[in-house]
Amino acid sequence: MIARLAIDTDGQGLHVITDQLTRLIRSEFSGDGLCTLFIRHTSASLLVQESYDESARRDLEVWLNRLVPEDDLLYTHTLEGRDDMPAHIKTMLTAVSISIPIVDSVLALGAWQGVYLWEHRHGRQQREIVVHLSA
């Protein structure tokens, strides 16, 4: 089964999608299986990470911004803006697809795990994640 999640973003950062995904599975799937997420973009990515403490997520963002700064003289691909090439690199270092088992109709996330879309561009974006559910 294929579904789509549409997510509007307004600036860089981690957008939680755990609840949206949980509702989708509750309404569309039962039993054991596998949920695979695929993001259809090259400047936003997927992450499963700490959902409890906001400071951990903020440190992830700040750390990655320091590793991949804007205005690096290395970049030749600059036509689409200062944040574009860093966005491609950050996407490369994180995930374009993630698979999470479903056990007894529920995503088998650990106690502290949440699912995130990581927006790497500054401006407003409409993002799409394709979700594949199977037994």
| Interface residues toward its own copies, by CB under 8 A | 1-2, 32-34, 36, 38-42, 47-50, 53, 55-56, 58-60, 62-64, 66, 68, 72, 74-77, 79, 84-85, 88-89, 91-101, 103, 108-113, 128, 130-132, 134-135
Do 84 and 125 touch, CB atoms closer than 8 A?
Answer: no
Task: Retrieve residue 99's tokens.
Answer: 């698979």
Residues 19, 2: Cα–Cα separation, whole Å:
18
Q: CB 32 → its own copies: shortest distance, Å?
A: 5
Q: Which among 95, 98, 128, 113 has a CA at the least distance from the CA of 34?
A: 98
Output 26 or 62, the one with its CB closest to its own copies.
62
Smallest gap from Cβ 124 to its own copies, in A, equals: 17
Residue 20 or 133 with smaller CB distance to its own copies: 133
Nearest to 58 by CA among 109, 46, 66: 66
Cβ nearer to its own copies, comparing 38 with 122: 38
Q: Which of 36, 21, 39 has the alpha carbon at shortest distance from 91?
A: 39
**Would you say how long the chain is, in residues?**
135
Residue 127 CB, shortest distance to its own copies, in Å, is 10
